[in-house]
Amino acid sequence: MTSSPVVVAVDVGGTEIKAALVRGPEPTVLRQLRRATPKLAGGTETADAVVAEVAGIVGELSAGEEPAAVGVVVPGIVDDERRIGVFSANLGWRDYPFGEALAARLPGPLAFGHDVRAGGLAEARLGAGRGLDDLVVLPIGTGIAGALIIGGRPHSGGGYAGEIGHLVIADGPECACGQRGCLELIASSSAVARRYAERTGRSVTGAADVAAALREGDADAKLVWGDAVDALARAITQLATLFAPQAVVLGGGLAMAGELLTAPLERRLDGLITIQRRPELRRAALGDRAGCLGAALMAIEAVSFLEGR
């Protein structure tokens, strides 16, 4: 048996591909690189270009040495079992057979999955969720995604689990998903910036500018930030009611505000939680490395499975 397999991990993002040559089982990163994600006119063409780019990256990182396995994760709605990219709003593909296309271009076994669930697995095994069995990893960025870790394993629900940004929190504007009042229209980093700009008429580059205004006592920033905190607390309360996670791990741009987010969120949760198990709030530890490390863990597990361990 290979006690320390060398694998290649690839995290395909909406704007950037992160990849690494990794030695298990820890995992230890040996080499890494980043490339722009190719985007062509059509979704299928973009997916084909991504497959070609991933194949080139794997060849470059492995430098002629055949990796024991390759782990690849992509964004959007992903059916892990059928290894299909069901839908990506940013990159445009629908029902693209990534498993088949990648297996034809890559050496060794392929582990394929969803970027956020892979990042959640990494946080659970290596980062802020270490030692816990049940948790939610909640990246808050342009949208709000989620990884549900149940019994130490990511729960995929055929690719549809974890769309936490589309929990309906309150009556509000129509979301691109077709519902009204979705969480990510109120509490995502982009929503906080947009709502502040709409309220004040002042342009901001992102939620960090709103956080800075809040620290200076800006009343409009206080209102917008308070709405985001309330919406997040209500969403976390729903998650606590549904499956009682031990912790919620907050990541993404909004979580970089630190205590400015977590302190009022803790207080609001205290006011909402009644019979539910009160989840601990933790900040993500792995940053933008989480997806790539998760892909590495998936690849290492694929090797162990094939070797019967």
- Residue 101, classed as helix, strand or coil, is helix
Distance CA 37, CA 69 (A): 22
Alpha helices in 127-257 (DSSP H): 184-187, 189-200, 207-215, 219-243, 252-255
Residue 53 structure tokens: 């780019």
CA 129 to mean position of chain CA atoms: 14
Region 277-298: what's the mean pLDDT? Answer: 96
| Per-residue exposure over 280-305, b if at least 16 CB sit within 10 Å of its own CB, e if not | ebbebbbebbbbbbbbbbbbbbbbbe
pLDDT for the residue 305: 67
pTM of the model as a whole: 0.90
Taking only the tens place, the pLDDT of each residue in 167-195 is: 999 888 898 888 999 999 999 999 999 99
Please give the average per-residue pLDDT across 49-67, as a whole number. Answer: 93
Tens digit of each residue's pLDDT (9 = 90 or more) over 213-227: 999 999 999 999 999
Quick check: 306 pLDDT over 80? no
Percent of the chain at pLDDT exceeding 90? 85
Which runs of E-coded beta strand occur in the chain? 6-12, 16-23, 28-36, 69-74, 77-79, 84-87, 94-96, 110-114, 135-139, 147-150, 153-154, 247-251, 280-283
- Tell me the C-alpha distance between 111 and 27, whole Å: 16
pLDDT in tens, 102-125: 999 998 899 999 999 999 999 999
Domain 131-284 has what CATH class?
alpha beta
Within the chain, all domains assigned CATH 3.30.420.40 are found at 6-120+288-306, 131-284
pLDDT tens-digit profile of 229-250? 999 999 999 999 999 999 999 9
Mention the CATH class of domain 6-120+288-306: alpha beta
